[in-house]
Amino acid sequence: MTSKEVLHATEDKLKKSMDFLTREFSEIRTGRASPNLVEGLHVDYYGTLTLLKQLASISVPDPHLIAIQPWDPKVIPEIEKAILKSNLGITPFNDGKVVKLAVPQLSKERRQELTKVVNKIAEEGKISIRTIRRESKELLEKLEKDKLISEDEKFKSIDELQKLVDKFTERIDELLKNKDKEVLEF
């Protein structure tokens, strides 16, 4: 294994960690309707757990309403059960063809609680990135110890590794800033 392969594998791991963090952020309710709130829910569709986004079209006709129109209207009760079981805290209603979710405004206290949750998720993302950095640095040091790379190449690679980590940490900070702003917005 070369130092370039280590850095490439590290970048892949960092991207996956970032994707996970972005998905976690998108699932936090902000008082504004978004398809992300429900599209990841699993619905019992004739005995098989299926993602809601595979069973229905999800739209946001206005900032406080999510409309879920299943392709098979017989699945509406199961969609409602999945929504009630989720931690959204929203009660669905339907007209026989479309399941609707009215997304209420969040109270000031709830918004402050959500900023704490968002900060915790961001910190977990940073911990994940630091863990990836530590593992990659140890691997580079082992490559040098096993004489597969030179000491200069190790230091150069560790420097590149730190630049990669800094880039992803900045992205987390930017995501956090945007999500905090979104949560606190009325």
Q: What is the pLDDT of residues 88-116, one digit of tens each?
A: 778 899 998 999 998 888 788 888 888 88
Question: How large a percentage of the chain has pLDDT more than 90?
Answer: 64
Per-residue burial over 60-83, b if 16 or more Cβ lie within 10 Å, else e, is beeeeebbbbbeeeebbebbbebb
pLDDT tier at 55 (50, 70, 90 boundaries)?
Answer: very high
Domains of the chain: 3-27+107-184 (1.10.132.20), 35-102 (3.30.1360.40)
* Among candidate residues 110, 99, 126, 116, the one with its CA nearest the CA of residue 38: 99
Residue 124's pLDDT is 94
> Which element (helix H / strand E) includes 131?
helix 108-145
Of 10-14, 27-31, 54-58, where does mean pLDDT reach its minimum? 27-31
pLDDT tier at 186 (50, 70, 90 boundaries)?
Answer: low
Residue 29 has pLDDT above 80, yes or no: no
Q: Would you mind telling me the total number of residues written for the chain in this entry?
A: 186
User: Which one is predicted more confidently, 75 or 34?
Assistant: 75
The two three-digit tokens of residue 18, written as one number: 């970032």
pLDDT digits (tens, 9 = 90+) for 59-97: 999 888 999 999 999 999 999 999 998 877 788 999 989
Residue 120 has pLDDT above 70, yes or no: yes
Residue 112's pLDDT is 85
Question: How large a percentage of the chain has pLDDT more than 70?
Answer: 98
pTM of the model: 0.70
Cα distances (angstroms) measured from residue 138 to each of 3, 16, 20, 120, 122: 12, 20, 24, 27, 25
pLDDT tier at 35 (50, 70, 90 boundaries)?
Answer: confident
Instruction: Work out the mean pLDDT of the chain and round it to a whole number.
Output: 90
Q: Give the position of tokens 């956090």.
A: 176
